[in-house]
Chain A
């Protein structure tokens, strides 16, 4: 069997050549779907304001209203002030009419981008439209014990994907005197 040897460069679409670093290691630059979404201007932060919510309220709820994008969740950050802390169910639901006290507009993580999430989703604090707590959150995903005034950060890394009309919510079983919940996520074209 004949064989031949050839040396080649790995060249990208812009003409630049991949480096081979000391130790004969081919340099690669891994990029996650989230990083790519940030660079494309499709990633957002939904950060609630403090409202001293009542027990039974959903501290923050985020619903995907788009049939063209999946809403992928990267990070959930939960803070509460409550003596002894509280279990804070993280759950999903679908087909509800989201209602709450304050609308939260997502902040585009790439401040170069003019892409708006406003027509694509609904996000509110003190959400009262879902009845998930009454049936023990049948679509719950996490049940963290959150210590008082200590942020609990869940790195979901895109593993929660919300299609059209599905929502993500965070409740607190104990009534907090102060609270703050932040969702980080991105829209992935279907």
Chain B
């Protein structure tokens, strides 16, 4: 006796089998978050950072959802070390608030986050950057892309920050991330 099984989704649609293979749609957590309107870009505005400034910091303010980091983009007009670090339990402050831009422009959702460029409230540099994710060098007028791929996870009240150790006249950092239920 042979048995034929049709796989159907909650909507009642059936999955296709073509050429002896199930047709599937791989969907990463990031892609799903984009479709659901839960993915954001936080892009700093260009300014002239002092040495060891936090160019951009993003803090998760959701008690029920974790913030997953997808990409970090770093640009400077001056060669410098950079440090990608983390901390928790401080009150974020800085010269300019950065509002996350929803990657899905169909969505009206707003990121439960606090972000600043030139963030001044964290004491990570004074503490020796104890929670470093990455350290590296950016060339003068250089770009660095760190493809994190959702593998940094920030719970409520935790932040991610990017510092330059050398003063510059133009620096930028962009952080792409998404929210997922814990």
Residues of A at the B interface (CB closer than 8 Å) are 1-10, 17-30, 34-35, 38-39, 43, 45, 47-50, 74, 77, 79-81, 105, 107, 109-112, 148-151, 153, 178-182, 184
A100 to B137, CA, bound (A): 22
Interchain CB contact under 8 A, B139 and A148? yes
Chain A residues near B129 (CB-CB < 8 A): 49
Interchain CB contact under 8 A, A25 and B23? yes
Interchain CB contact under 8 A, B5 and A26? no
Interchain CB contact under 8 A, A34 and B151? yes
B interface SS class: strand
A110 to B27, CA, bound (A): 22
Cross-chain contact of A21 among B8, B25, B79, B88 (Cβ < 8 A):
B25
Instruction: Specify which of B129, B133, B165 lies most central, judged by the most chain A CB atoms within 10 Å of its CB.
Output: B133
Chain B residues near A153 (CB-CB < 8 A): 146
A47 to B124, CA, bound (A): 14
Asked if B91 CB lies within 8 Å of chain A CBs, one says: no
Within 8 A of A (CB), among B115-133: 128-133
Cross-chain contact of B135 among A24, A50, A110 (Cβ < 8 A):
A50
Beyond known contacts A26-B23, A50-B81, A79-B137: 13 more, CB 8 A cutoff: A5-B6, A6-B6, A7-B6, A25-B25, A27-B9, A35-B150, A49-B129, A109-B151, A112-B66, A149-B139, A150-B137, A182-B132, A182-B135
**Which residue of chain A lies nearest to B138 when distances are taken between CB atoms in the complex?**
A149
Q: Given the known inter-chain contacts A9-B7, A20-B15, A178-B137, please indicate yes or no for A111 contacting B25, CB distance below 8 A.
A: no
